[in-house]
C-alpha cells in the first residue's frame, strides 16, 4: 500500500453550498497529517467522508486501500475516529468505559484485559482506572477518549478538533501521545486551528472555503510561500499603523498579530528603509505557520492561489 489515504477531486455539496471542493491529496502510512483552516473551511466534512460517515457528492478516495464508496464497512473496521464531542460515559469508571468500547470493537475477552492495560499506559491513566469519568479533568477525559478510539489498534486514526477547550499544557501532552502512535506506524489525521500543533505535524493541508490551498511540511510551506525578510514591529496602535505600512513600496505584505505587525520585505536590505519610514525599529523574525496561513488567505481572496 503506497498511501494510507489517496483522494482525487473529492467533493461534498449541501444544496447550494460546496463544503469540500475537489480535494486531491495523498498521505503516507505513519504520517501525522494536520488539516488546518478556519471554521467552515471543510476540514471536518473531509474527515467524515474519509471515515465513511458522509457520502461524497463526486470524486474518489481510497482509505487503507479501500474505496470509500464501495467498501465503506471495510474502511470503518480499520480506522479509529475521535471528535471533540467523543462520547464518554461519565457515570462509569475509566476502566468501564474502556471495557465498553472494547466490546463495541468486538475485541475478544481473552485479549481485552491486555488491551485495556495498554490503553491505560498509553494515556497515562494507569492509576486512575477506578475513577469516575465525571471526576476527570478535561485533559484526562481527552486522553481517555483517544484510548477508547484506538483500543482496536487501528491502522489509521482520525482526530477531529480533539484538543478544543483544553489547556496548552494538556494539548502538548496530547500531541506527545499522537506522535508516539505515529512512531509505532499508525497514520494520524488531525484537524486543528492551533498553529503550535500544526508545527508538530509531518505535513499540513491548508484548507479555505472547501479548497485545498497548500499541502506540504511546515518548513517547506514557509520556504515556498514566505519569500523575503519577515520582520516584526511593536506599536501601540497596529490597526492605524498597518495601512501606512502596507502603502510602503518596499512592503510585500503586512498582518496584525496582537499588538505586533508582521511585515514581509523583499530582502534584509529594506529593513533600514522600513525603520526610517515607520519611525520604529523592526526586528527580523522567522516566519511562522500563521504567517503562511495569512499569506495563503490573502492570496485566495485576491485569486492568487492556484486551484
Backbone angles phi, psi at 168, to 5 degrees: -55, -35
How confident is the model at residue 303, as a pLDDT? 66
CB atoms within 10 A of CB 61: 23
Report the phi/psi class of residue 279: left, alpha or beta, with left for phi > 0 and alpha for psi in -120 to 50.
left
The answer for residues whose C-beta is within 8 angstroms of residue 17's C-beta and 6 or more apart is none
How confident is the model at residue 39, as a pLDDT? 85
Degrees (nearest 5) of the Cα angle 298, 300, 302? 70
Secondary structure class of 239 (helix, strand, coil): helix
As a whole number, the mean pLDDT across the chain is: 91
How confident is the model at residue 240, as a pLDDT? 85
- State how far the Cα of 130 lies from the Cα of 307, in Å rounded to an integer: 52
| Residue with the larger pLDDT of the pair 164 and 179 | 179
The answer for residues whose C-beta is within 8 angstroms of residue 26's C-beta and 6 or more apart is 2, 3, 5, 6, 7
Degrees (nearest 5) of the Cα angle 166, 171, 175? 150
Reported as a single tens digit per residue, the pLDDT across 124-145 is 898 999 999 999 998 899 999 9
Strand partners, 190: 34, 159
**Average pLDDT for 235-247:** 87
Q: Residue 13's pLDDT band (boundaries 50, 70, 90)?
A: very high
User: By percentage, how much of the chain surpasses pLDDT 70?
Assistant: 98
Quick check: 133 and 88 in contact, CB under 8 A? yes
Reported as a single tens digit per residue, the pLDDT across 248-294 is 889 988 999 888 999 999 888 899 888 888 788 899 998 989 889 88
Secondary structure class of 286 (helix, strand, coil): coil
Reported as a single tens digit per residue, the pLDDT across 33-65 is 999 988 889 999 999 999 999 999 999 999 999
How confident is the model at residue 171, as a pLDDT? 87
How confident is the model at residue 258, as a pLDDT? 84
**Average pLDDT for 109-138:** 93
Q: By C-alpha distance, which of 168, 177, 120, 166 is closest to 139?
A: 166
Q: Residue 1's pLDDT band (boundaries 50, 70, 90)?
A: low
Degrees (nearest 5) of the Cα angle 294, 300, 303? 145
How confident is the model at residue 299, as a pLDDT? 77
Q: Cell numbers of 194, please?
A: 492551533
Amino acid at each position: 500500500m503506497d498511501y494510507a489515504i489517496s483522494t482525487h477531486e473529492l467533493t461534498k455539496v449541501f444544496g447550494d453550498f460546496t463544503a469540500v471542493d475537489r480535494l486531491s491529496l495523498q498521505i503516507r502510512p505513519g504520517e501525522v497529517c494536520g488539516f488546518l483552516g478556519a471554521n467552515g473551511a471543510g476540514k471536518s466534512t473531509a474527515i467524515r467522508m474519509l471515515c465513511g460517515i458522509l457520502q461524497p457528492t463526486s470524486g474518489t478516495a481510497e482509505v487503507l486501500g479501500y474505496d470509500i464508496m464501495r467498501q465503506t464497512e471495510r474502511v470503518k473496521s480499520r480506522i479509529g475516529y475521535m471528535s471533540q464531542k467523543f462520547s464518554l460515559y461519565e457515570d462509569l469508571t475509566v476502566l468501564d468505559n474502556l471495557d465498553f468500547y472494547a466490546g463495541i470493537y468486538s475485541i475478544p475477552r481473552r485479549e481485552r484485559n491486555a488491551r485495556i492495560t495498554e490503553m491505560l499506559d498509553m494515556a497515562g491513566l494507569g492509576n486512575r482506572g477506578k475513577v469516575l469519568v465525571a471526576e476527570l479533568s478535561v485533559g484526562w477525559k481527552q486522553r481517555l477518549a483517544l484510548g477508547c478510539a484506538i483500543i482496536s489498534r487501528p491502522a489509521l486514526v482520525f482526530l477531529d478538533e480533539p484538543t478544543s477547550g483544553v489547556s496548552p499544557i494538556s494539548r502538548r501532552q496530547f500531541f506527545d501521545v499522537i506522535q508516539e502512535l505515529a512512531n509505532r506506524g499508525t497514520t494520524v489525521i488531525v484537524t486543528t486551528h492551533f498553529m503550535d500543533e500544526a508545527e508538530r505535524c509531518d505535513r499540513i493541508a491548508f484548507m479555505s472555503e472547501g479548497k485545498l490551498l497548500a499541502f506540504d511540511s511546515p518548513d517547506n510551506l514557509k520556504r515556498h510561500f514566505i519569500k523575503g525578510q519577515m520582520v516584526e514591529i511593536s506599536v501601540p496602535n497596529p490597526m492605524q499603523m498597518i495601512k501606512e505600512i502596507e502603502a510602503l513600496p518596499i512592503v510585500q505584505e503586512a498582518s496584525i498579530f496582537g499588538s505586533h505587525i508582521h511585515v514581509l520585505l523583499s530582502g534584509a536590505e529594506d529593513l533600514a528603509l522600513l525603520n526610517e519610514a515607520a519611525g520604529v525599529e523592526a526586528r527580523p523574525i522567522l516566519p511562522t505557520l500563521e504567517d503562511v496561513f495569512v499569506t495563503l488567505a490573502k492570496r485566495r481572496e485576491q485569486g492568487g492561489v492556484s486551484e
